Amino acid sequence: MAEINVAEAKARLSELLERAASGEVVTVSRRGKPVARIVGAEEQPKRIDREELRRLTASMPPATGSAAEFVRSMRDEDRF
């Protein structure tokens, strides 16, 4: 983790953004005290293809029994 003062951060903002995008965390300090942290942004989640989801669920076998029975069986099988 790199630490840099505010004046230097202003002068080198583009470089700091590149470093953050590559996974490095940069701490910005004022008078020796941390005031901010520059980190890379999280990637946006991928959109769900509805048609692909429909095809997937259509290919799954229908449920036999109630959801309560299914959860109870999962719980009981893993308990011991």
Query: Which residue ranges make up each domain of the chain?
Result: 2-38
**Three-state SS at 33:** strand
% the chain with pLDDT above 90 = 65
- pLDDT beyond 70 at 59: yes
CATH no. of 2-38:
3.40.1620.10
Closest C-alpha to 41, from 18, 64, 58? 18
Please provide the DSSP assignment of 19-48 as one string: HHHTT--EEEEETTEEEEEE-PPPPPPPPP
29 close to 5: Cβ distance less than 8 angstroms? yes
26 close to 20: Cβ distance less than 8 angstroms? yes
The pLDDT assigned to 79 comes to: 61
pLDDT single digits (tens) 60-75? 998 888 999 888 888 8
Comparison of pLDDT for 77 and 78, the residue scoring more: 77
